[in-house]
Homo-oligomer: A and B are copies of this chain.
Amino acid sequence: MAVRFPFTQWISPRQPPEVERLLKSAATREGVLSLAGGLPGEDLFPRAALAEALEEVMREHGREALQYQWPEGYGPLREQVAAMLRDRGVEVAQDELLITSGAQQALDLLARLLLRPGDALGIESPTYVAAIEVFGLQRPRMVPLARGEDGLDLAAVRALVRGAEKSLLYLAPAGHNPSGSSLSAEACESLVELSRAHDALVIEDDAYGRIQFEAPRRPLRSYPGAEERVILVGTFSKALTPGLRVGWIVAPPAVTAQLVLLKGIADLQTNTLGQMALSSYLERHDLDAHVARCLPRYRERRDAMLQSLAEHMPAEVRWTRPTCGFSVWVTLPEALAAEALLARAIEAGVAFEPGAAFFPVETPRNYLRLSFSNQTPDRIAEAVARLGKSLRAL
């Protein structure tokens, strides 16, 4: 008998299969400069300090580091994360904090706990691709909220929260991907006010919150009145390292209690060694100082990209000037499709992410995201020159 598998739902790749194939082949192809992915700069990882931390943990606490642990996470690390957040204006009690396997799992747990099929989900458009995917698994009704360099469409937010008895919003107020922008303090205050007035919950994605080129930004959760309405999701992935897969959720205690149970069911716990190594690193090193060392390098890379874009892009192409994050968001003339450009660009030796996947509902084809974070300025200049050439040839 032929085997049919009774899948609960059919999961499609985030990009069309052809784009997936192209990006995967580009990743291993000699001579292709990649501007794809939201990867932190590999040359900026504090490798020696993390190696020392690992060595210390294995030497002093090897048995504990290799053993099972409680689902809520390693106690000392939870305190350190809470202290880091306090420095950014977010008060966190211990029963409000859960350590997760990266911010992505944080979003997954929240989606599973808070989103039923058909529920309205307010979601920025464009936004982080894998957030669209993870919320999409719950089959909500996605309500796009236009978001760009100039801010968030607060009228759309207002219409959503007023029209629904309860609503859930997924936002990246302090560090939006892919636009590379943060919301003003006024917009943040309005969001808190709206969520309080209309019984809405906000999931705040703060993954890029510390990667700020102009001034530090406080998370939405730090605004007065946000404690009961804003659930904060954070991670070490952008500011330190993604390879250990350690992130967190800060939520009201009633929500956190359920999340801890769900986390224990989903994967028992976040890896013990990674948590203990991060804790040991944070005990001996100042993460703020590390971030302060990285920011000028990321700024340099951003500037190299902006300058190269100005040099090499045809006149009809527009792009953002990111004040935060890892990427520039590029708009092609409407008649051009980023997917078609990608095939050509990879031939010319440069890869990037087509932008359609960043849109939760309508998926325009004429956008692309160029990440500068994991390339040196001269390679960025070369990559953008190649891209310009491919574009002109199109």
Chain A residues within 8 Å of chain B by Cβ, number:
79
Q: Is A268 an interface residue (CB 8 A)?
A: yes
Q: Is A58 an interface residue (CB 8 A)?
A: yes
Contact of A54 with B63 in the complex, beta carbons under 8 Å: no
Q: Which residues of B contact A58 (CB under 8 A)?
A: 47, 50-51, 54
Q: Is A159 an interface residue (CB 8 A)?
A: no
A270 and B261 CA atoms in complex are apart in Å by: 20
Q: Is A336 an interface residue (CB 8 A)?
A: no
Q: Is A311 an interface residue (CB 8 A)?
A: no
A195-235 contacts to B (CB < 8 Å): 196, 199, 201, 228-229
Q: Is A252 an interface residue (CB 8 A)?
A: yes
Contact of A5 with B67 in the complex, beta carbons under 8 Å: no
Q: Which residues of B contact A105 (CB under 8 A)?
A: 266-267
Q: Is A39 an interface residue (CB 8 A)?
A: yes
Q: Which residues of B contact A7 (CB under 8 A)?
A: 113-114, 258
Known contacts A67-B243, A101-B267; can you find 6 more A-B pairs with CB under 8 A?
Answer: A5-B255, A11-B258, A11-B261, A12-B261, A66-B241, A245-B267
Contact of A3 with B228 in the complex, beta carbons under 8 Å: yes
- Tell me the nearest residue of chain B to A47, going by C-beta: B62
How often does this chain occur in the complex, in copies? Answer: 2
Contact of A67 with B54 in the complex, beta carbons under 8 Å: no
A114-B6, A267-B104 as given contacts; A51 in contact with B59, CB under 8 Å: yes
A61-87 contacts to B (CB < 8 Å): 62-69
Contact of A45 with B68 in the complex, beta carbons under 8 Å: no
A69 and B12 CA atoms in complex are apart in Å by: 20
Contact of A39 with B68 in the complex, beta carbons under 8 Å: yes
Contact of A8 with B113 in the complex, beta carbons under 8 Å: yes
Contact of B8 with A116 in the complex, beta carbons under 8 Å: yes
Q: Is A388 an interface residue (CB 8 A)?
A: no
A108 and B268 CA atoms in complex are apart in Å by: 10
Contact of A68 with B3 in the complex, beta carbons under 8 Å: no
Q: Which residues of B contact A228 (CB under 8 A)?
A: 3
Q: Is A348 an interface residue (CB 8 A)?
A: no
Q: Is A187 an interface residue (CB 8 A)?
A: no
A82-105 contacts to B (CB < 8 Å): 101-102, 104-105
A229-256 contacts to B (CB < 8 Å): 229, 237, 241-245, 252, 254-255
A176 and B220 CA atoms in complex are apart in Å by: 48
Contact of B8 with A265 in the complex, beta carbons under 8 Å: no
Q: Which residues of B contact A262 (CB under 8 A)?
A: 11, 137
Tell me the minimal C-beta distance from A66 to chain B in angstroms.
4
Which 6 pairs show the lowest CB-CB distances between chains A and B? A243-B272, A51-B58, A66-B243, A105-B267, A47-B62, A42-B63
- Which of A12, A67, A138, A261 has the largest number of chain B CB atoms within 10 A? A67
Q: Which residues of B contact A258 (CB under 8 A)?
A: 5, 7, 10-11
A51-B58, A66-B47, A67-B242 as given contacts; A267 in contact with B115, CB under 8 Å: no
Contact of A108 with B3 in the complex, beta carbons under 8 Å: no
Q: Which residues of B contact A42 (CB under 8 A)?
A: 63-64, 66-67
Q: Which residues of B contact A130 (CB under 8 A)?
A: 264-265, 268
A243 and B62 CA atoms in complex are apart in Å by: 10
Q: Is A151 an interface residue (CB 8 A)?
A: no
Contact of A50 among B40, B66, B166 (CB under 8 A): B66
Q: Is A271 an interface residue (CB 8 A)?
A: yes
- Tell me the nearest residue of chain B to A251, going by C-beta: B5
Q: Is A273 an interface residue (CB 8 A)?
A: yes
